Structure 1
Amino acid sequence: MTTKHLNHIATLGFALFAMFFGAGNLLLPPFIGLQVADSWSWTTIGFMITAIFLPFLGILSIVRSGDNFDALGDRINPKLSLVLGIIIMLGIGPLIAIPRTAATTFEVGVLPLFPGTSPIISTLVFFAITAGLSLSSSKVVDVIGNYLTPLLIILLFSLIIVGIVNPINTDMVHTFTESDAFVLGFIEGYQTLDVLASVIFAGIIISAANEKGYTSKAERSKIVIASGILAALCLLFIYGGLVYLGATSGYEISTDVKRATLLLHLSNTLLGSYGSIAIAVAIALACLTTSIALTCAVGTFFEKLTKGKLGYKTLVILCSVISAVLSITGVEDIIRYAAPFLGFIYPIVITLVLYIIIFGKIVPRKRPFIGAIFGTTIISFFGLLTSFNVGIPLINQWIEKLPFYSYDIAWLVPSIIGFIVFLLIDKTKK
């Protein structure tokens, strides 16, 4: 492999890391570490499955299917994939993920350094930068991968290494069983939104690889997969490190502790007087890179959906305005209202990704994949009803008896049943 190829892998891999590593990725790991204390290693494993391994499979599923999410969606049904694509884009775009980046930047990056700053001013500056850089979409990957991400990684690695060498408190209390700690990490990994984002980000990275001269499918696949592995390794170290920092923080756990407050406590304690500045810069970089990537993705997706009736620039500005309005509600409120949505859509996307990865080459027809998604959607739908306190008790009792319910993957067996039943129907018709 030539130096040129390695440079391209580094650029694309760091860009992909930065796209994934946004607000939730920085705030969630220390908080779950604080909760599980000495069971931090088990919760890290659970978190890494939903926040690293499954997103990597999401990228792999796109690489195997084509160049973007449309190619993956065509493996099931164009109309179904269109609806799923719109839901995903709204979730990782102006309704949840992008507003959360701005809210986190204000609470952790701006407010500690400039007390009394209005969230409106912070939001306006944040989205002015986001919109400005997003309008030059062709240069986004290079700007993120070559300049912004290396600085972000240096800052985070410094914080984690200091915390490992000189932990704040090693007297960790046993609060969770190993099983419960694993489940908590697994479920909290949903809040990163990275599985949803992976099927969109893959298209951006594939397009960037194509512009760098990797025009054949084989070349493109190798460079994108190598970039994905690099991004996954960076995430692996940082997630594990942040969970450990939370577990050894010595911070008093309480129901009203805020994720942003815990992160500030860690940075100030470990890095001293420069802690607030370091974490402010890290937050700004992490949130900006993710916000830019997501805004570009939203603009590109809906421009194509409307067949150019809504232009890319108009959509970028519209996305920024909506995100700005929602971001003012604050990080905790955004995470709270996002939970039911994620509990519904996440299992559906995971099902699509897993079944395409496992059976995509040996099952060419569409119906079995629709059956798997149908089985998952039923369970997710009743879970959504329950989250709004309108669940049906009899059905809920039945769902609670399903295998793996305690691991929050009660949808797994119904998806398998749906896949097999539709496969048999398909063979019978054939």
Structure 2
Amino acid sequence: MKNKLGTAVTLGFALFAMFFGAGNLILPPFIGLKTGDEWFSAIAGFFTTGIVSPFLGVLTVVLFGTSFTDLGRKVNPVVVTVLAVLIMLCIGPLVAIPRTAAATFEIGVKPLLPEFNNILFSLIFFAIVLALSVSESKIVDIIGNFLTPFLILSLGILVTIGIMNPTAAAESTGVTTQQSFVFAFHEGYQTLDVLASVIFAGIIISAAIDKGYTNAKDRFKITIAAGLISMVALLFIYGGLIYLGAHSGYEFSEKVSRTELLLNISHNLMGESGTLVISVAVALACLTTAIALTSAMGSFLQEFSKGKIGYKVGVLLTCLVSAFFSVKSVDEIIEYAVVILGFVYPITFALILTVLFFGKIIFSRTPYVAAVTTAGVVASLSVLQQLNVLVEPIETLKSWLPFSEHHLEWLLPSFAAFFIAAGFNSGRKAHREANAAD
């Protein structure tokens, strides 16, 4: 603990790089393109779900333990374990990790080597991830001290040039201020960062302990400092990329490829060198995230199997499954991820918010289980709707729920269930105490 600032910067950079993966890079320019001259409200929306919400996830874990499964003491071990499995599958080999490889190939390799085989690339990519993930104790230092500075530098160059010399003025796309906020807010789900935050928190906390921050109070301070540093870095990059999308001069279309848009923006700003810069940025962004997620998955499998699956075996299995799914295109992965995230995100968000706000004053598990269950039921309706099942009845039902236009129809029902369960428990406890007094 000799250098608190240096430790906070290393951990903060590592957390930034863990969060900043494929989705974080390709989504903001598309958001800017769609929202046009309302880009500032879009930044606010993306800031909410892409930066603030993940920070709350980290904050919740560090307040109540050292890993996400520690929240089981506040809620219910079985509920948290099931949720942890769903989260790990989303941020692991089914969605997030394959997307890092697919994005690296589409943006970082294909423009420079158009004939390169994507299957061969996937094997090379995950061989590198495997090599850098097998040493569990060195993950944070590898990412925070070596890879992230190059990532921030390459993206910083692109964003700074784009802000100083925008390709075109931002024009109206017919999207209102509110619509811009809502669209960017919902696109923030695709970063997967709220889900990843409760897992990454454990990695950062473990790294802080390894660096001598064994006291809970000191560990809290250094983790929060790291979180704030990552938030500032993310805001600069996200805001800059949204701005570049809004000032790209392209006409918006739903058929616009997110990866091609980013490539065209970088090429227009910096010519052939822009393609190289964005290729390096994508490779570093995706590699750092893939390493962190693979490491997290390896640790999770080891803990979940109670040691029957070792860390290194878990990392190898994760790389193999991820490589299989990574041959799909980025847009294909995003398309099937929407359905999965529409279910898991509200449940995780409900858990984070209720534990964060009430974990120190309401100790019964029942209210938390009620909130999570309610969020899951409401989220199931959206999943059915996306699968074209009972579309009109569900649309009518959702229209009665507050904040449905913001895709937050689960919020008030889950909090209502929480308070009802808390009140019921309080009344039952008072009744028992009265009977005992008699």
The 5 A counterparts of 1:100-115 are 100-115=99-114
Match of 1:58 in 2: 57
Q: 1:129 maps to what in 2?
A: 128
Per-residue CA distance 1:168-227 (angstroms, 9 max, x = gap): 001512420111111000000000000000000000000000000001000000000000
Deviation per CA, 1:263-282, whole angstroms, max 9, x where unpaired?
10111111122111111110
What amino acid sits opposite 2:335 in the alignment? R
Residue 74 of structure 1 corresponds to 73
Q: Distance in 2 between matches of 1:46 and 1:335?
A: 19
Aligned to 2:405: 406
Q: How many angstroms does 1:391 deviate by?
A: 2.7
Q: Distance in 2 between matches of 1:73 and 1:198?
A: 16
Cα distance, 1:399 vs. partner?
Answer: 1.9
**Structure 1 Cα separation of the partners of residues 148 and 11 of structure 2:** 11
Post-superposition CA distance 1:211-258 (Å, at most 9, x none): 000010000000000000000000011101000000000123223210
- TM-score, reference length from structure 2: 0.96
Tell whether 2:98 aligns with 1:91.
no
- For 2:61, give the aligned amino acid: I
- The alpha-carbon distance between structure 1 residues 396 and 11, as it changes in their structure 2 partners (threshold 3 A), is same
Structure 1 residue 73 displacement after superposition: 2.7
Q: Which residue of 2 aligns with 1:4?
A: 3
Structure-1 separation of matches of 2:422 and 2:89: 32
Question: Following the alignment from structure 1 to structure 2, what is the Cα–Cα distance between the partners of residues 254 and 105?
Answer: 23
Equivalence for 1:426: 425
Contact 1:74–1:81 (CA under 8 A) maintained in structure 2: no
Q: Does 1:279 align with 2:278?
A: yes
Please give the alpha-carbon distance, in whole angstroms, between the structure 1 residues aligned to 2:321 and 2:182.
Answer: 34
Note if 1:371 corresponds to 2:358. Answer: no
Partner amino acid, structure 2, of 1:20: F
Matches within 5 A, 1:257-406: 257-391=256-390, 393-406=392-405
Task: Indicate if the aligned counterparts of 1:372 and 1:418 stay in contact, CA closer than 8 A.
Answer: yes
How far is the alpha carbon of 1:394 from its aligned partner?
3.3
1:424 Cα deviation from its structure 2 partner: 1.6
Q: SS of the counterpart of 1:39?
A: helix
User: Is the 1:375–1:417 contact (alpha carbons within 8 Å) kept by the matching residues of 2?
Assistant: no
What is the alpha-carbon distance in structure 1 between the residues aligned to residue 96 and residue 165 of structure 2?
33
The alpha-carbon deviation at position 3 of structure 1 amounts to: 6.9
Q: Give the deviation of 1:428 after TM superposition.
A: 2.4
Contact 2:34/2:173 (CA < 8 Å) preserved in 1?
no
Q: Which moved more, 1:66-75 or 1:30-39?
A: 66-75
**Distance in structure 2 (CA, Å) of the matches to 1:392 and 1:338:** 19
**What letter matches 2:327 in structure 1?**
I
TM-score (norm 1): 0.98
RMSD (Å) for aligned C-alpha atoms: 1.1
CA shift, 1:395, in A, is 4.4
Aligned residue type for 1:10: V
Which 4+ stretches in 1 moved above 3 angstroms? 392-396
Gapped regions of structure 2 (runs ≥ 5): 430-438
* Match in the other structure for 2:156: 157
Secondary structure of the residue aligned to 2:271 is helix
Matched letter for residue 318 of structure 1:
L
Q: Return 313-322 or 16-25, whichever deviates more.
A: 313-322
2:173 & 2:255 partners in 1: Cα distance?
A: 21
Distance verdict in 2 for CA 1:424–1:266, change over 3 Å: same
Letter of the structure 2 residue corresponding to residue 217 of structure 1? A
Partners in 2 of 1:171 and 1:52 — Cα distance? 24
Tell me the distance in 1 between the aligned counterparts of 2:273 and 2:358. 51
Residue in 2 aligned with 1:243? 242
Q: Tell me the distance in 2 between the aligned counterparts of 1:46 and 1:259.
A: 19
Q: CA deviation at 1:332?
A: 0.4
1:393, CA displacement in angstroms?
A: 3.9
Which residue type is aligned with residue 342 of structure 2? Answer: G
1:234 aligns with 2:223: no
Whole-angstrom CA distance in 2 between matches of 1:367 and 1:116: 57
Which residue does 2:32 correspond to in 1? 33
Find the residue that maps to 1:37 and give its secondary structure. Answer: helix
**Shift of the alpha carbon at 1:375?**
1.8
| Amino acid in the other structure paired with 1:190 | Y
Q: AA paired with 2:272?
A: S
- Partner amino acid, structure 2, of 1:320: C
**After alignment, is 251-260 or 411-420 more displaced?**
251-260
Deviation, 1:392, is: 6.2
Mapped to 2, the partners of 1:141 and 1:171 lie a distance apart of: 39
Q: Is the CA contact (8 Å cut-off) linking 1:348 and 1:373 kept in structure 2?
A: yes
CA distance in 2, matches of 1:159, 1:39: 21
The answer on whether the counterparts of 1:383 and 1:391 sit within 8 Å (CA) in structure 2 is no
In 1, the alpha carbon distance for the partners of 2:390 and 2:20 equals 34
Distance apart, 1:363 and its partner CA: 0.9
User: 1:35 touches 1:175 (CA, 8 Å); kept in 2?
Assistant: no
Residue type matched to 1:290 in 2?
T
Which amino acid in structure 2 is aligned with residue 303 of structure 1?
Q
Aligned length: 429
CA contact (8 A) 2:244 2:265 kept: yes
Indicate if the aligned counterparts of 1:68 and 1:203 stay in contact, CA closer than 8 A. yes
Secondary structure class of the residue paired with 1:256: coil
Report the identity percentage.
Answer: 50
The CA distance in 2 between the partners of 1:348 and 1:73, in whole Å, is 14
| Cα distance, 1:300–1:171 mapped onto 2, change above 3 Å | closer
Contact 2:16–2:230 (CA under 8 A) maintained in structure 1? yes
